[in-house]
Amino acid sequence: MSWQVKYAIENINGPGGLRAEVVQGEVIKIHGDKQQDVIAMISAAYSIDLNAAMQCRKEEPTLDFLCGYRKECVWDGAAISYLSENSIGWGNIGTLSSAASNGSANVAEHKDYSFSHRLIRQYPLVAGVERQFDRIFLITLKSGRSFRVAMVKEYEPCGDAIRKIWDTFGPVDIAWNINPNGNPTSSAHQAGAELGCEVIKWDEFKTYIQKG
């Protein structure tokens, strides 16, 4: 049994009433007294692209959820689209546990980003949202203006967090700190100014959008 499968099973087999068992390789089955069985694959990859997502579905045609177990795992936008189109949920172990509990495994998306993703998609002035990575979006407003946004989930992101986004994903116009309980540090704002991007919270982001 691989390390990520071992830890995933230990995480799921808790007081919530869910039980997980190995089917084969990285595939597990999650079941409970009232929940529908969930077939999930537990990946230890640092990134999941379209080819990886397609290969996982090929290996397990009944797949309900693809789990990127590593905290650092990055999901490519094409992989996310493919999984969603084929009714396969995606995200981390926390997302899998929650989705298996409430019966939404086939439609679940990474819990760290799902609320903010829905928030921006439903904003009245937004015409389109292209997901390039799990945390990177190209947003087009109804005015026709487009800009690239990174969702930053750290509690109080520092300058290194902003620079890492650029190093990993390329330039962005907005670094949106989506954690509701914290605020960007002064070093984050300084890094943003040096790189040429705004480091902001949701209220500031709305103002940015409203300016068109």
In order of their start, the domains of the chain are 3-102 (3.40.1350), 114-210 (3.40.1350)
pLDDT value at residue 110: 97
More confident residue, 32 or 60: 60
Q: How far is CA 70 from the centre of its chain?
A: 12
Instruction: Please tell me whether residue 108 adopts helix, strand or coil conformation.
Output: coil
- 22 forms beta bridges with 28
d(CA 197, CA 56): 36
Q: Name residues whose C-beta falls within 8 Å of residue 163's C-beta, 6 or more positions apart in sequence.
A: 191, 195
- Average pLDDT for the chain: 95
pLDDT value at residue 33: 76
- 198 forms beta bridges with 174
Alpha-carbon distances of 119 from 122, 124, 205, rounded to whole Å: 5, 10, 12
pLDDT value at residue 22: 97
Q: Name residues whose C-beta falls within 8 Å of residue 121's C-beta, 6 or more positions apart in sequence.
A: 129
Question: To the nearest whole percent, how much of the chain has pLDDT over 70?
Answer: 99
pLDDT value at residue 104: 94
**β-pair type (38-43, 65-68):** parallel
Q: Number of helices (H) and strands (E), helices first, in the chain?
A: 8, 12
Residue 15 pLDDT grade (very low, low, confident, very high; cuts 50, 70, 90): low
pLDDT value at residue 35: 78
Nearest to 73 by CA among 100, 52, 103, 102: 52
pLDDT value at residue 128: 96
Mean pLDDT to the nearest integer, 59-80: 97
pLDDT value at residue 119: 95
Mean pLDDT to the nearest integer, 87-109: 95
**Does 166 have pLDDT greater than 70?**
yes
Quick one: CA dihedral 48, 49, 54, 59, positive or negative?
negative
Mean pLDDT to the nearest integer, 43-48: 98
Residue 17 pLDDT grade (very low, low, confident, very high; cuts 50, 70, 90): confident
Mean pLDDT to the nearest integer, 159-180: 97
pLDDT value at residue 162: 97
**What angle in degrees, to the nearest 10, is found between the helix axes of 50-59 and 77-85?**
30
More confident residue, 14 or 7: 7
